Amino acid sequence: MIAILIYLLLGVLAYTWGIYPLLLWRPPRRPPMPVPPVGEAAAVPQPHLVILIAAFNEGEGIAARIHNLFDTDYPADRLTVLVGTDGCTDNTVAEARRAAGEHSRVMIHAFDTNRGKTAVLRDLVREVGQMPTPFQDRCLLVFTDANTRFRRDTLHHLIAPFHDPAIGGVCGRLVFKGATGNEETAYWDLETRLKRHESALDSCLGANGAIYAIRPDCFWQDIPENTIVDDFVIGMKVRESGRRMHYEPGAVAEEEAPALRDEWARRVRIGRGDYQAALLCKACLHPRYRYFAWSFWSHKILRWFTPHILLLLLALAAIICLTGLGGGGTVRLAAVICLGHTLLMTAAMAGRLWREIPAASRTSLVRYCRHADHFVTMQAALMTGFIQACRGNLAGTWQRTPRTRANSA
């Protein structure tokens, strides 16, 4: 019995990390969703875009962010920018107001209390709800971050799929800059490829807070103020509303890559938010959502419980090795599992020691060890987030994550 359990747990890990991505590489044949070329989309009347930014202590970059939005090739008279500052303790409000003085279509909402990104975004969407009804019917909500930059044609690409009335939201592609060899960016690239294939199955899971757009009536008005991974939950609720999320790789946003040494707190926070999101979006796990539910189970839920499975496997293997339970074959399997855990942890510790080696000087061994370090750290952060979530630590307030400008991050 215990051997069956071990094989089952190993099968779950193999499925979510290996088999599922391979299955996506050759999805069932279905016609691609027709999207008009950007040039054709630009030839018809463009919808009004209300761009929402929640900012906390972004004084260094908020003005440049606002200017960047008006430097795109989208008609400036079709843009309205709402910036909500979340109890900032630096000069974010002053810098945002200075930039707003140069653009008449920018409105600043300075909130005194740090409540969290979700609370700010919810208030900004309510501001849009106070606008005239004809305007609301013709506009789209665009969500982005203060540290993000759009390319000139980003907005045209982002709105192009909305010609299909079944589309309720569109997620763009985030590109990290300035961190060659950063394991976080390598993992993000893999996730981006999975999202592209999932979107082909109408299974785009959530959104990316740096760049996504939704129809106003698809916004979940009752989203809890303490929601941590707001972008994921908002995107999932678009699907619950009866419309689809679409991934548009041509809509590119750029950010400086996160510095790995400063990522722990962010990963733990996201870990808490992942388990919170599983409860908030549990309706999407129902089989009636077909491919969407399959992707949610396979790509998210099972991965979020990877650290639990790894710990359970190690505990079972240790018990078998110490007691001989199950016979020779089971004992040998348990020994292999214990050895695998030992090798993984050894490689992770070596990878942590080798973090400062420049990308150009890394051997294959160093790269493998750094990836092991990234994987183990990610699982440890998930487990820490799970424990905190179980203890009720689900505050939505945030702290800025430092970004790296070095190529050796």
pLDDT band at 147 (very low <50, low <70, confident <90, very high): very high
| Mean pLDDT, rounded, for 219-230 | 96
Measured between alpha carbons, how far apart are the two ends of the chain, in Å? 46
Is the pLDDT at 355 greater than 60? The verdict is yes
Mean pLDDT, all residues of the chain:
89
Q: Is 396 in a helix, a strand, or coil?
A: coil
- Among 156-160, 181-185, 217-221, where is mean pLDDT lowest? 181-185
- For 293-339, the pLDDT digits (tens) are 999 999 999 999 999 999 999 999 999 999 888 778 889 999 999 99
Q: Is 405 in a helix, a strand, or coil?
A: coil
- For 178-209, the pLDDT digits (tens) are 755 567 777 888 899 999 999 998 899 999 99
Structural domains of the chain, count: 2
Does 99 share its domain with 134? yes
Q: What pLDDT is stored for residue 33 in this prediction?
A: 52
Is the pLDDT at 407 greater than 50? The verdict is no
Whole domain around residue 278: which residue ranges? 1-28+272-399
| β-strands 244-256, 167-177 pairing | parallel
pLDDT band at 250 (very low <50, low <70, confident <90, very high): very high
246, 200 in Cβ contact below 8 A? no
What are the C-alpha distances in Å from 258 to residues 112, 255, 267? 28, 9, 11
pLDDT band at 406 (very low <50, low <70, confident <90, very high): very low
Strands of the sheet containing 244-256, edge to edge, are 106-111, 79-86, 48-55, 139-144, 211-214, 167-177, 244-256, 149-150
How far, in Å, CA of 253 to CA of 192, rounded? 13
Does 49 share its domain with 114? yes
Q: What pLDDT is stored for residue 409 in this prediction?
A: 37
Does 309 share its domain with 387? yes
How far, in Å, CA of 211 to CA of 128, rounded? 18
| Mean pLDDT, rounded, for 226-248 | 97
Does 62 share its domain with 20? no
| β-strands 244-256, 211-214 pairing | unpaired
Does 245 share its domain with 308? no
pTM score of the predicted model:
0.90
How far, in Å, CA of 292 to CA of 205, rounded? 8
| Residue 141 forms part of a structural domain | yes
Does 147 share its domain with 70? yes
Does 229 share its domain with 182? yes
Is the pLDDT at 134 greater than 80? The verdict is no
Does 232 share its domain with 289? no
Does 251 share its domain with 278? no
The pair of structure tokens assigned to 39 is 């040039």
The conformation of residue 52, written as its DSSP 8-state character, comes to E
Does 96 share its domain with 239? yes
CATH number, residue 229: 3.90.550.10
Does 50 share its domain with 163? yes
Does 249 share its domain with 103? yes
| Residue 43 forms part of a structural domain | yes
